[in-house]
Structure formats: C-alpha cells, structure tokens
Structure 1
Amino acid sequence: MMARMPTISRREMLGLGFRAGLATAAGVAGVSAMSRAVAAGAPPAVAPTYAAGSFPSAARGGAPTNWIIARPPGQTAPLRPVILLHGKDSSAQTVMSMGAEQFLADAVRAGLPPFALAAVDGGNGYWHRRASGDDSGAMVLDEFLPLLAAQGLDTSRVGFLGWSMGGYGALLLGARLGAARTAAICAVSPALWTSAGAAAPGAFDSAADYEANSVWGLAGLNGIPVRVDCGDDDPFASATRQFIGQLPTPPAGGFSPGGHNAAFWSSQLSSELSWMAPLLTA
C-alpha cells in the first residue's frame, strides 16, 4: 500500500499568493542572468527555481506563447513536470500566481518527491484544433513538451492539471498523449457539457467539432489515474457528476463546498499536487 503523502495546509497555500509577485520578479531576473551565462558558454550547474520565456507557436499560427517553469530549489537531476492548463481568459502567469515556486519548495521540504510545474499560454481555443487553424493542443504536445525537455526536464512521463477550460483540456490532452506517458490527470471544475447544443458559445466550432474532441467515453483515459475536483455550487457540477458516472474506474477527488472560482481552486491545490507527485515520480 502506498504511504500517505504529506500535504501543505490551506492556510499555507493561501499565504503563498501574495508572495507570487515577488517570486515572479525574482524569477525574471534569474532568467536574464541564466541567459547571459549560457551565451557566455557557462550554463549554471543547478537549474533555476523559476524560469520563463516565450516562443512563436507554429501550431497557433505564430502566436507569441509565454511559458513558465517552477522547480524546487537544489535539484540537479531532471524532474518530471506537471503541465498546468489555464482556463478561459487566463494565462500561464495566472495559474502560477498561487505561489507555485514556494509551494514546491515547501512541499519537497515536507517530504513530497520532487517534480516541476510548467504552465503555458493556450489562448481561448479550449485546447484543441479550431477552424481558425489555432491548435493549442498540438502546441502543448508537439512544441511545449520538446521545449521542456530542452530546458532539462524529464518528459518521458508527465502529469496534467487544469482548471475549467483547462480541466477539460487536461482530460483531452492526457488521453491523447496516452497512458505510456501520462502519469496522472487532475481536472478541476472541468468545463464539460453533455451535448454540443449545451456548450458555451465559442467552446466548439460545431457539433462535429464537439464530437471530434469529446472526452465522454474517451478510451484514451483508460489506464491513467484520474482525479476530478468540483465545487458543489459550480455551474459544471451536474455535467461533472455525469462524466464521473460514466468513467470505468471511479476517479480520485470529488465534490466539496465551493464554486467556480480561485478561492475553491486554491483550497484544492495542495491535496491535488500531493496526490499527483508520487504517481508522477514513481
């Protein structure tokens, strides 16, 4: 039986939020210093705890795409990443603003096996190919994962954690990457609809697009540990309950008081990453 892993308390997690801005500023300065060292032919021996950059995504029509990596301090071996997928009208910076860098430091110090967090901008395309040609899903699988490998991470096995639109994306992309490489999926308040007609405007281009990118009955999820967390008052709660009911294996997580907001998501993050870490690093 797997030993129970330690978690960081909700108070500690919420307390990290106000420090995120300081961590970001320090991280940007650290990236600049690292870039100068690499250019001089002397890359640092230890990876920075916070790195950020941008690339023009071919899968997104050349759109400038920002990325952020957070690592626990003092790690020299390649770490496996949890890919963080943001919700609608959000970004990589938003999902890191809960204090990811400090969380990792505290979590590893408390006994969790070390891992990395990696976030990337995906626009509002619901993490799949759209009629416009924008394909943020392909960007993650075909561009961002190789970029993470080039940054020294071990992408042989990764986790996916997403919120709302990103929760749907975590299920979709984790399944498409497959059980051989997807260690775990955590979908938080996932944006799920039981039919194309019920979907929010802009989530899908058509009924055919909905069907082609549905996560309902998705065989690719088989063999991947899945966790689903949702607030009792979340507008997606009903569809999420139906989605959970049709999975062949009951997922971890569940329902608890809360809505579709950052307060609920922050309250769940510690237990979610504590659940994912041993699966990712096994």
Structure 2
Amino acid sequence: MRRPGAEGTGHALNRRGLLLGAAALGGSALLSACGAEKAPLMGPPPVAPPTKPTPLTEAVTVQKMRSAARNRDVNLVIIAPEGVSRVGMPVCVALHGRGADARTFLDLGVQNALNRAVADGLPAFAVAAVDGDNYWVDVGKADDPQRMLADELPGWLAQRQLQPPSAMFGISMGGFGALRYAREHKNLKAVAVASAALFVSWPDAKSRKVFADREQWESHEPLLHPGDLSASSTGVWCGNSDPFAGADRKLIKSVRPAVGKMSDGDHNDDYWRGIMPEMMKFIGERLA
C-alpha cells in the first residue's frame, strides 16, 4: 500500500459508477446470532471501488490513505451535501459495521439525508468514514483504530479544508466504536448510534473472538461505562427485532440519551436507510 504519513493517491468517486456497483451488490446478509458460539453480525457490504478518478471538489470522494496506527492503507470516504462548498465544513465521523468498510456509507442514503437536512434549513456538514476493525479498539494486534481516529483523521480532514471531527455516528460494530471514542472526547457535539453491537456479558463478547480477555473487554465495553457518556449529545436507534435490541435498551436505560428510539426493524441495511434522515437531522441540529 502507500507511504506512511502522507496523503495517499487520490481516487475520488464517480457517483454514477458507485450507484451501479451498489445496486449490483444488493442487500447485506445477516448471519445467525444463535448458539454458544455466536457468528458475528455483519454490517452492510462495501460497494464496488471507484472505476475512475474525479476531482476532489466533488461532493462525494473516496481515497486511499496510509494509517500508521492501523499499519495499512484505509479508505477515506467523504460525503457532503450536493451544491455546497465543502471548505470549512464541520465533520461527523461515520464508523461502519463488522465485515464492511468505509464505502458502505455510500449505499445507505447518507447524502440524500444530508441534502434533506440542508433543505430543512440546517447548516451543511460533511460525513467522513474510514475503515476499521476489532470493534474499533486496540486489542493488541498492532492495529489501533481509535488512535487513527484521534491522531490521524484530523490531519487528513485538514488537508481537505474540513474542520476536525465534532460528531460521531456508528452502525453495529461502529456503534461500539463511536461510544468508545466519545468516552475520551467529551467535546463531541453529537454521538448517534444505530443497532449498536454491545455485549451484556463476557461470554457474549467472548463469542465474537475479538477481545483477548475479560479485562480487555471490560475496559472498552460502553455498557460498563455509562457515566462517561453525555446524555444530551447522544442518540440511540435500534430495531425491536435486532439481536442487539436488549443491549441497546440497556444502554438507553442507563444513559437516558436525548433520543432513545426502539422501532420496527432488524439488523440490516433497510432499517439503517430508513432511520438515516432522522440520524442526520439529530447530528445537524447539534452541530448547528
């Protein structure tokens, strides 16, 4: 992959090619979460990579960046409302689910939701997504997504004349990561999570085969540190048929977030597309 510490080779996204690639991939598969050894729930699949570059002035871009914290190249996806200059925009960071990458947000209606928020009178903001893994925490594999978010991502955004992250949202595994990030970054104006992959017990967390031991899991698990989260800046959405519904209800009960919404839905991209406008509005109102 590419040289450390510098901006990677630019590959901005042709949006027409993106949409065709997303349509070809279709919906995501949901693995069974039953049994003693639970299969990990997957996020929506990544869409096809861009077929040809377009200028970085486009509202939607995809690039490869070298992350020293993760010891690999990662996708950097930036999505902004159409027809608005990105220069100086505030940024909400988006964290994807397990088995996906940053490009999955290109197929979840994020830009349409941003366009709607602007049409409703909210100031424009951009969504920036990067690739992560291991529930977005350092589990001792020479791969530290939290350090990438804290130490590297702000510089990548500054190179693109965007503000440092001031909001965070995550889906599934990304919800775990967003809440973990929020514990260390009290200045966030909004933290929105959908179908957050949280674990009510060590056996449940252990079955994911990510955490080295119980102590490591306990140090990261958002449900065990509700006092570190700001109720007024937090929003939680989850479907009643989601396998993580019980854990997310516990989060809502313990944090008492500004929005805690359980509604019809499962752990799939149809549900996430459906709530995306509401989540972007929640974030936009707080960034305003």
Following the alignment from structure 1 to structure 2, what is the Cα–Cα distance between the partners of residues 19 and 220?
42
Following the alignment from structure 1 to structure 2, what is the Cα–Cα distance between the partners of residues 112 and 80?
12
Matched, 1:262 2:284: no
Matched, 1:94 2:104: yes
Structure 2 vs 1, CA of residues 102 and 252 (structure 1 numbering), >3 Å: closer, same or farther? closer
Q: What amino acid maps onto 2:137 in structure 1?
A: H
| TM-score (normalizing by structure 1) | 0.79
In the alignment, which of 212, 228, 241 is matched to residue 220 of structure 1?
228
Structure 2 vs 1, CA of residues 100 and 242 (structure 1 numbering), >3 Å: closer, same or farther? closer
Q: Which residue of 1 aligns with 2:213?
A: 206
Q: How many residue pairs end up in the alignment?
A: 246
Q: Which residue of 2 aligns with 1:158?
A: 166
Return the offset for 1:203.
3.3
Matched, 1:131 2:140: yes
Return the offset for 1:107.
3.1
SS in 1 for 2:117: helix
Q: What amino acid maps onto 1:125 in structure 2?
A: N
Contact 1:232 1:255 in 2 (8 A): yes
Matched, 1:168 2:150: no
| TM-score (normalizing by structure 2) | 0.77
Q: RMSD of the TM alignment (CA)?
A: 2.6
Contact 2:190 2:283 in 1 (8 A): yes
In the TM superposition, 1:177-196 aligns within 5 A as 177-178=185-186, 180=187, 182-196=188-202
SS in 2 for 1:126: helix
Q: Which residue of 2 aligns with 1:41?
A: none
Q: Which has the higher helix share?
A: 1
List runs of 5+ in structure 1 lacking aligned partners. Answer: 1-16, 35-46
Following the alignment from structure 1 to structure 2, what is the Cα–Cα distance between the partners of residues 68 and 116?
10
Contact 1:30 1:50 in 2 (8 A): no
Contact 1:233 1:258 in 2 (8 A): yes
Contact 1:55 1:65 in 2 (8 A): yes
Matched, 1:142 2:151: yes
List runs of 5+ in structure 2 lacking aligned partners. Answer: 1-14, 23-46
Structure 2 vs 1, CA of residues 202 and 212 (structure 1 numbering), >3 Å: closer, same or farther? same
In the alignment, which of 40, 65, 87 is matched to residue 74 of structure 2?
65
